[in-house]
Amino acid sequence: MVFLEIAAEELQQGMLAAGFANGAAVIRVHCEGLIRKLWSQLLEDPDEQLPWEAPLIDIARNHYGNSDITASLGDLFYFQPGHHGYIARKVEIDRTPEGHPVPTPGRFVQGKDSYRIADATMNECCRLADQLMEALTPPGQQYNERRVTVQRLKYQERFEDFEVLAAMSQNSLARWGRLGFQLDRHRGRLDGPFRHKGVSDMMGAMMMLPGLGKLPGWVNRSLSPKQSRTSNARVIERAHCDERYFTALCGTRENVRTEIQVGKQWIELPVGLTSFAVFPGNLAQRAFGLKPTMHRVVHTGETHPASAINRRTSNVTLLIGGV
């Protein structure tokens, strides 16, 4: 049992925990009405300038960086081949004792103006996160409200655009920074047993050596989980488990897909606008003993006519998580 299907109305304490404990890697929670509502509020509001529509200076002004990229908030421009490749807007919501949402960032610069997500929208996201968190908490354990992350991630339609955006990022660095970028590029190609810190650093350095560089790559390919579908697919976000209690995602896909690791196979995760795909992260393993779901994002290599693409919402993921 890889996928388990339930309706949002059926959620109760421990239901998700039981499903994951019994072997489900992902639980699809069907709630099309809520998803369409949140999608309209968070992706189709013409008053909000999303970062992939914004000038670079607005992205920079809205960036709340962290040494750990996964902990950064605000607007993010992150193109590191094999590791990440997206433009995103990430908000973390805390709550006052009275239950009012307190987002970080609180507002986003839009030229001479600014934008703030409506409290009603943030409350909807928090209610969903609380419902999922309660269902993730096993019976007999106390459920506690957690901070909520709301993320909107945009992946490019053309694979070549990932490359030129990464090249621009690399070109902005000094000499040692460029060398480190190249090392990370090699590390991003590693999978399976070689993706872990330390080992990936050593393998990445070996891949930069003249003559010996091809050997680590061959060993990596022979021991990595098999690719699903076509060999044209290329990894744009490397295999990882989220540092959250849970991840719930929906979205639109043109030529990117999320894959989950099941045994030695990569299986495509159905992502759309009728259900949230929910899976546990590392915090759920520490708190409840639930195995986190390893996943990655790949580009299929397919192309679509520009006239068929909605630049604002194509290849966009809406993610809600408990942190």
Q: Could you tell me which of 129, 145, 69, 107 has the C-alpha nearest to residue 249?
A: 129
Angle at 67 between CA 162 and CA 86, to 5 degrees: 20
Residue 38 forms part of a structural domain: yes
Residue 257 forms part of a structural domain: yes
Quote the domain boundaries for residue 137.
Answer: 3-159+239-322
Distance CA 184, CA 114 (A): 35
> Which of 60-74, 198-212, 254-268 has the lowest average pLDDT?
198-212
Q: By the 8 A CB rule, do 28 and 277 touch? A: yes
Res. 187 pLDDT band, cuts 50 70 90:
low
Report pLDDT for 83: 77
Residue 45 forms part of a structural domain: yes
Report pLDDT for 275: 98
Report pLDDT for 229: 43
Residue 189 forms part of a structural domain: no
Look up residue 8 and give its DSSP letter: G
Chain position carrying tokens 């959250």: 244
Retrieve residue 148's tokens.
Answer: 């909520």
Q: Could you tell me which of 30, 247, 15 has the C-alpha nearest to residue 136?
A: 15
Q: Which residues contact 223 (CB under 8 A, 6 or more apart)?
A: 192, 193, 194
Report pLDDT for 306: 67
Total domain count, the chain? 1
Residue 180 forms part of a structural domain: no
Residue 213 forms part of a structural domain: no
pLDDT at 62 over 80: yes
Residue 218 forms part of a structural domain: no
Residue 18 forms part of a structural domain: yes
What secondary structure does DSSP assign to 16-33, as a single string?
HHHHHHTT-SEEEEE-HH
Distance CA 190, CA 184 (A): 10
Residue-wise pLDDT tens digits, 202-227: 666 666 666 655 655 556 656 665 54
298 burial type by CB count under 10 A (0-12 exposed, 13-18 middle, 19+ buried): buried
Cis amide linkage into residue 193, ω under 30° from 0: no
Distance CA 196, CA 238 (A): 11
Distance CA 51, CA 38 (A): 18
Q: Is 186 helix (H, G, I), strand (E, B) or coil?
A: helix
Sign of CA dihedral 151, 156, 161, 162: positive
Report pLDDT for 184: 64
Q: Is 209 helix (H, G, I), strand (E, B) or coil?
A: coil
The mean predicted confidence, pLDDT, of the chain is: 88
CATH code, domain with 265: 2.60.120.330
Q: By the 8 A CB rule, do 294 and 240 touch? A: yes
